[in-house]
Chain A
Amino acid sequence: MAETDGQRELSHRQLAKCPTGITGLDEITGGGLPRGRPTLVCGGAGCGKTLLSMEFVVRGAVNYGEPGVFMSFEETAEELAKNVASLGFDLADLEKQKLLAMDFVYIERREIQETGEYDLEGLFVRLGHAIDSVGAKRVVLDTVEALFAGFPNEMILRAELRRLFRWLKDKGVTAIITGERGEGTLTRHGIEEYVSDAVIVLDHRVVGQSATRRMRFVKYRGSLHGSDEYPFLIDETGFSVLPVTSLGLDYAVSMERITSGIPRLDHMLGGQGYFRASSVLLSGTAGSGKSSLAAYFADAACRRGERCLYLAFEESQDQIIRNMRSIGLDLAPWVDKGLLKLHATRPTLYGLEMHLAMIHKLTNDFQPRTVIMDPISNLSIVASNEEVKSILIRLVDFFKNRKITSFYTNLTHPDQLEETSTGVSSLMDVWLLVVNVESNGERNRVFHILKSRGMAHSNQLREFLITDSGIDLVDAYIGPGGVLTGSARLQQEAQEKAAALAAQEELEHRRHVLDRKRQIMGAQVAALQAEISAEEEELQALQDQSKLQHKVAAEEREQLAAARNADSPEVKEGE
């Protein structure tokens, strides 16, 4: 993980740091152990003290070109070399390259008799010689408390240890001193009082039959450090500490949107799907199709050519692939292509912290852009809800920092739909809910978006259908009796269809009637017009007749006047 600029700046102002090269440890310490000072690492038997310090020296030599000295009080060089060979550390080769000097300090109490005053100059000489022989910058003393068994004079011993730590500081080497955990004290002989700079406690606890390794900084003078316990792993690549707790809320957000794999759901989410690097929680009752929705999301990621990590806590890889095939989704090609990694584990396999560690490591190794956890509710089998919540906070932050979109499914009890058993909903950017609604003798799935930060989203309930050909979200019918789903919805739809058909027919009928009326009216108008024109014609005929009669009458008068030889009006007029 890249150190952020802020951290780098901070570590400049603080003490100089010596990078350990151990995954995660440098992040929580803001750069490593205090340079040129001794650090005490304590813990019970088998908690990983020796491995931590050995890795510190080896990584220093290999990664940072800083030679180291490993002074062991418990195991011979051969034993140590054998123990760490499985981690790929070749101690003999490093010794040959003058990058490592080993010295096994053997103390046999039975052989030793005290005969007066002494000091531990022999130890100083040997250590000094080892340091000079390789030009060491790093020193490990594992575990210096073994001296207490060999030298009964505690007063001398304590004075010498004080001098030793002083001397190490003067030498300017960065040192790790290990110590067995004591009762009520950090170390059995209280050597923590001589180490004032940094104290790390390692712990190997068994809770609920699951073992978890944890690391805690009791003291880290002059440096910011989280006071939390950090889980760590020891595996074939060595030590890895999980820095997730130290992450804050200062991640950059993305405006990029990615599809949920279901077009209708994208539509409900402002048309574009989720924001990249957001956290999506899908709650639902048993059998509500949570895994299917998760699988669709995984499929969508793979279609984009992005890697997706699917952490299954309930089903095996083959089972998931088989089940998804039944709804028309074939995940196997993505697995073959290496785009999809199905990692199936039972939550009870190990403790919660180990799960976190495992997820962290898988994420680092696989580098996915999408992570699916199905389901998170199962984690509460191995830990209390509070612990699960704390882990999830860390996970959510961790994924967000990595710009990984995370998708969590959560099994909810039907009585407590809108709460998550672990109270994690407030961490989530998007919260989807699928509920089984029982009515009319059938169970149907109803889907809605409870929240979706930073985007306009649909407030509508949708029916969630899982068919042979996949998932679909269809409009649910909302009637007086509530939301209708399944056959009730189909029935309602049929009714609506019939009603619409009837209305259509009615309309046709009305139009027909109107047309008829219009035709009749037209005919009537035509008839009236014909009547009018007939009357007009009659009137004309009458007029013509009347004119004719006038004419005839005039002619007859003229003829009569002529006959009476009356004055011609024209003549009279001409006089």
Chain B
Amino acid sequence: MDEPKMKELEELEDAMKARETGHYVLRLYVAGLNRLSLRAIENLKKICEENLQGRYELEVIDIYQQPVLAQGDQIIAAPTLIKQLPPPLRRFIGDLSQTEKILVGLDLRPK
């Protein structure tokens, strides 16, 4: 089996596992530590602490430091939160101040 297929399979397995366990993998892209970045980090931390305690991974990435990652993840707006797992992949742009909307988007609240 070639490598991309292996990777795909792994991803699929991760996704299945994440769905079962309710494990969240989140990535937050920010543009340095500006006003919006700080606000977004603060808002996200709060949401995670209150709703996903113990079952989430959060990676905060500075696009100034990691422009290649930003390109790979198709980042245009900052801040951008990507819900990598569980599927489906979702993107939240902005300072994450609209908590209700995020909870719905993270499938933590019914629509």
Interface-facing stretch out of B4-12, B15-23, B51-59, B75-83: B75-83
Instruction: Select one of A111, A117, A122 contacting B94, CB under 8 A.
Output: A117
- Return chain A residues, CB-CB under 8 Å to B39: 116-117
Complex alpha-carbon distance, A118 and B40, angstroms: 10
Residues facing B in A122-162 (CB within 8 A) are 122-123, 125-126, 128-129, 147, 150-151
Q: Cα distance A112–B82 when bound, in Å?
A: 9
Report yes or no: B98 in contact with A117, Cβ–Cβ below 8 A: no
Tell me if A120 and B98 are in contact (CB < 8 A): no
Q: How many residues of B contact A (CB 8 A)?
A: 33
A residues less than 8 Å from B46 (CB atoms): none
In Å, the complex CA distance between A105 and B76 comes to 8
The chain B residue with its CB closest to the CB of A125 is B63
Given A120-B76, A121-B31, A122-B80: A115 touches B70 (CB 8 Å cut-off): no
Chain B residues in 8 Å Cβ range of A125: 31, 63-64, 67, 70, 75, 78
A114 at the interface (CB under 8 A from B): yes
Name the residue on A nearest B94 (C-beta): A116
Q: B61-76 toward A: CB 8 Å interface, digit per residue (1/0)?
A: 0011001101100111
Within 8 A of B (CB), among A94-118: 103, 105-107, 111-118
Task: With A106-B74, A125-B63 as known contacts, state yes or no: A117 contacts B95, CB within 8 Å.
Answer: yes
Complex-state Cα separation, A431 to B97, whole angstroms: 81
Please tell me if A235 contacts chain B, counting CB pairs below 8 Å.
no
Minimum CB–CB distance from A167 to chain B (whole Å) comes to 13
Interface of A is mostly: mixed
Given contacts A122-B77, A122-B80, A125-B70, contact A115 B98 (CB under 8 A): yes
Shortest Cβ distance from residue A126 to the other chain B in the assembled complex, whole angstroms: 5
Q: State A103–B73 Cα separation when bound (angstroms).
A: 12
Interface residues of A, CB < 8 Å — how many? 24
- Given known pairs A125-B63, A125-B64, A129-B71, the reply for A118 and B36 (CB within 8 Å) is yes
Most buried by B among A103, A118, A120, A151: A118
Minimum CB–CB distance from A12 to chain B (whole Å) comes to 38
B89 near A111: Cβ-Cβ < 8 Å: yes
CB distance from A388 to the nearest CB of B (A): 50
| A9 beta carbon closer than 8 Å to chain B | no
Is B96 in the interface zone, CB < 8 Å from A? yes
| CB closest residue in chain A, given B104 | A113
A529–chain B nearest beta-carbon distance, Å: 137
Tell me the total A-B contact number using a CB cutoff of 8 A. 100
CB–CB A111/B97 < 8 A:
no
> Are A122 and B96 in contact, CB atoms less than 8 angstroms apart?
no
Q: How many angstroms between the C-alpha atoms of A129 and B39 in the bound complex? A: 25
Is A118 in contact with B75, judged by CB distance below 8 angstroms? Answer: no
- Least CB separation from A73: chain B residue: B76
Report the minimal beta-carbon distance from B83 to chain A, rounded to whole angstroms: 10
Contacts of B67 in A (CB 8 A): 125-126, 128-129
Q: Which residues of A contact B75 (CB under 8 A)?
A: 122, 125-126
Report which A residues bind B (CB closer than 8 A). 103, 105-107, 111-123, 125-126, 128-129, 147, 150-151
Q: Which residues of A contact B71 (CB under 8 A)?
A: 103, 126, 129
The chain A residue sitting closest to B44, CB to CB, is A115
Q: Which of A116, A119, A128, A150 has most B Cβ within 10 Å?
A: A116
Q: Establish whether residues A115 and B102, one from each chain, have CB atoms under 8 Å apart when the complex forms.
A: yes
Considering the complex, give the chain B residue whose CB is closest to the CB of A112.
Answer: B91
Q: Given A125-B70, A126-B71, A129-B71, do A115 and B78 touch, yes or no (CB 8 Å)?
A: no
B90 contacts A111, C-beta separation under 8 Å? yes
In the complex, what distance in Å separates the CA atom of A123 from the CA atom of B75? 7
Report whether B93 and A113 are in contact in the complex, using a CB–CB cutoff of 8 Å: yes
Contact B63 A116, beta carbon cutoff 8 Å: no
A490 CA / B93 CA spacing, docked (Å): 97
Taken together as a complex, chains A and B put the C-alpha atoms of A113 and B102 apart, in Å, by 8
Given known pairs A113-B101, A116-B95, A116-B97, the reply for A121 and B74 (CB within 8 Å) is no
Contact of B97 among A106, A115, A147 (CB under 8 A): A115
Q: Is the CB of A122 within 8 A of B105?
A: no
A-B residue pairs in contact (CB < 8 Å), sample of 17: A111-B90, A112-B91, A113-B92, A113-B101, A113-B105, A115-B81, A116-B95, A117-B95, A117-B97, A118-B95, A122-B29, A122-B80, A123-B76, A125-B64, A126-B71, A126-B75, A129-B70
